[in-house]
Amino acid sequence: AQRVTQPEKLLSVFKGAPVELKCNYSYSGSPELFWYVQYSRQRLQLLLRHISRESIKGFTADLNKGETSFHLKKPFAQEEDSAMYYCALRGGSNYKLTFGKGTLLTVNP
């Protein structure tokens, strides 16, 4: 079975502060991890994929297999980063995604 845990439902930071959204997973094989972002009442958009190791909108995430984590980080939060963030795991050959319950990030001015 595969599981994704995002321990924080809500996260509030001030503009310019560092932000870290936590994601832990449970999967017996080699997972693929993603971060999706959903701005207010919009569709989900892919933010990061662990195998690409890119930095998108200043966000980075590193897969830590020892800690089974894929935390999302940004050194200086911006107000436009306010959104719902979902961590997702894909394992196996059927390409299904398992999502965490999401973290609502609010960046205050």
Binding site for another protein (CB under 8 A): 6, 9, 32, 34, 36, 42-46, 49, 86, 94-102
Task: Name the residue with tokens 């050194």.
Answer: 75
Return the closest-CA partner of residue 62 out of 29, 22, 28, 4: 22
Query: Is the Cβ–Cβ distance between 89 and 31 less than 8 Å?
Result: yes
As measured in angstroms, the least distance from the Cβ of 104 to another protein is 10
Which token pair is 77? 């939060």
As measured in angstroms, the least distance from the Cβ of 96 to another protein is 6
Instruction: Name the residue nearer to another protein (CB basis): 13 or 97.
Output: 97
Instruction: Name the residue nearer to another protein (CB basis): 17 or 46.
Output: 46
